[in-house]
Structure formats: structure tokens, C-alpha cells
Amino acid sequence: MQWWKIAMVAALTLAAGLRADDAADAALAKRARAMLHHIVDTNQSSVRVDAMDALVATGEGRAVRDQLMRERAGNEASVYRVGIWRILANTTSSPYERMQWIERIEGVILNPRAADQLQAMEALGRLNHRVKGKVREALRARAAAGPEEDVIAAQWVLQGVSETGSMAGLTKALASPDASARQHAAYALRCLEPFDVSARQALVRALEKEPEDSVAYPYVLSAAVALRADRSRLAEWQDKLEKLLITGTPAIRFEACQTLMRRFSTADVAKVTPLLDDKDPTTQIAAAWTILWLLDRRG
């Protein structure tokens, strides 16, 4: 066979293989997206908000926003109202409207009788909102005294305005005798991803001491990987985090995926695809979100 014929056959074979890969990717993405929509349509717990977050992050912000606006009357009394307001703030193109939703969240913080103040502080942290005035003063008071989880959440928000002592408070909480406090501090640092040497050093120390069977361990590990706390140990830590995709609870798998999707290449889609078959919706969301995130990068 002449060389040009060989080259043509090779090119056609490669093209056919690429088309097959594209078709498989499209089918997987369709399945993942359909799973997220099914959870949104059938679930009324907090995982519905997680599924909406996944859809927003993978290109469906306008559709999610439109749905929430249609449901607005019912959402006002929802236990998960703060998460809904956060999504609405995050999906509007209007700075004025964004601030309107944020002010609702701030109103929860200023209401001493509100049961969802912790969720409100975490929402402001996730929105990277720069608090001021009465809200900032209220958060300063909360950071100075109160339940440790509330203190950590307040410090998270205050770090967004470079409040003196807020980062030191978060890193100090990594050494708390309370595993739940260490968990929340690590989660806050993972979300913040600060370019801060003291935070990275504190995570390295915390991970060295954290028992692998503690509630805090997956979150400290996830934060250490996300912040690249020690580049010489990053491969080792990522391998441990990947193992939690198999052995972890749904919440742990979700946390692991939040970090791993930003570390994985598109070739790693197969590592999370089996999780779509899990019966737990939190695991399904973690897998679907990661798959869509990675396939979008491939596209």
C-alpha cells in the first residue's frame, strides 16, 4: 500500500475513534446533567441546593435562577432559604439585585432569633462578600465569643475584608481539641484558598496530627491539597483523597470531589463515573458535578 493510502487510513481511523469518544462523552454528560435535574425536581432537602450549585457551576445559572424565581413564594419560608438566596445572588447580572439578596442574608445575621445564622455566615463567605457597618460589627462580636463553629464562620467572612486576626483565628482552630471545629476551619480555608504561608503551614501541621478516622481528617486533607500546602507531598495527599472516593461517606465524597475536580485532568473522569450508580443523592451530585466540570474542560 502506498504511503499516502496508509496515512489516509490512519487518519480516518483516528477520526472515527475521536467521534466515538465524543459520543461517549456526550452521553455521559447528558446522564450526569439529567441526574442533577432529577434531584432538583424530586428532593426538598439541602441536597437540592447542592444540585442547583452544581448546575450553576456547569453552565445552567440562568435556568436555575428562573426556576427559583418561579418558586419564590414557597422558598421564603424554606429551611434552606439562605442557600437559595445565595444562589440568586450568585446568578444575577445586576449588582443592585445581587445586593438585595445579600442584604436578606445579612438580615439573618442581624436577627438574634434566626435559627440559620451559621448558614448565613457561610453563605457570605462563599459569596466573597465584603461586609461593612452593622454586619461587620455583628461578625466581630461573634468572632470574639460564641460557639466555636460560629466563631470560625465569622472569621471566614471577616477574612474577606482582611480583618486583623481572622486568618490567625482560622489557623488556630485547626489545632482545636474539638474535631468539628477543625473540620469547619479546614472547610473555610479550602473555600478561601488564601495565598497565605501561615495557612499552608498550619494545614501541614494539622494533617500530620489529625487521626485518619476523625470527622475532620477528610476536610483537612482536602484543604491541604487545594492550597498545595506542601508541594513535595501533594501527590501522596491526592492519592489519599482519591481513596476517599471509594471509602468515604457521601459527605466526604462530596468534599473530596470539590478539590479533586480542580486537580484532575479529563482522563480522570473514569475515577468518578461509577459514583453515578450510588443510591445516595449527595454522592450522585458530587460525581455529576465533577464529570460535567471535567468534560467541559475537554470540550
Given a cut of 80, is residue 9 above it in pLDDT? no
Alpha-carbon distance of 54 to 257, in angstroms, equals: 12
Using CB atoms within 10 Å of the CB of residue 159, give its burial: 0 to 12 exposed, 13 to 18 middle, 19+ buried.
buried
| pLDDT tier at 11, thresholds 50, 70, 90 | very low
Alpha-carbon distance of 290 to 299, in angstroms, equals: 14
Question: What's the pLDDT tens digit per position in 16-72?
Answer: 444 556 788 999 999 999 999 999 999 888 999 999 999 999 999 999 999 999 998
| pLDDT on residue 296 | 87
Mean pLDDT of 240-263: 98
Using DSSP's 3-state secondary structure scheme, residue 164 falls into: coil
| pLDDT on residue 157 | 98
Given a cut of 50, is residue 191 above it in pLDDT? yes
| pLDDT tier at 12, thresholds 50, 70, 90 | very low
Question: What's the pLDDT tens digit per position in 172-189?
Answer: 999 999 999 999 999 999
This prediction has a pTM of 0.90
Using DSSP's 3-state secondary structure scheme, residue 160 falls into: coil
The string of DSSP letters for 85-152 reads HHHHHHH-S-HHHHHHHHHHHHHHHH-TT-TTHHHHHHHHHHTT----HHHHHHHHHHHHSS-HHHHH
Contacts of 25 (CB under 8 A, 6+ apart): 295, 298, 299
**How many angstroms from the chain centroid is the CA of residue 23?**
29
| pLDDT on residue 182 | 98
Cβ–Cβ under 8 Å, residues 125 and 166? no
| pLDDT on residue 16 | 45
Given a cut of 90, is residue 159 above it in pLDDT? yes
| pLDDT on residue 74 | 76
| pLDDT on residue 299 | 52
Question: What's the pLDDT tens digit per position in 256-281?
Answer: 999 999 999 999 999 999 999 999 99
Question: What's the pLDDT tens digit per position in 87-112?
Answer: 999 999 999 999 999 999 999 999 99
Contacts of 121 (CB under 8 A, 6+ apart): 109, 139, 142, 150, 153, 154, 156, 157
Q: Round to the nearest angstrom and report the end-to-end CA distance of the chain.
A: 36
The residue with greater pLDDT, 41 or 13, is 41
Instruction: Round the average pLDDT of the chain to a whole number and report it.
Output: 92
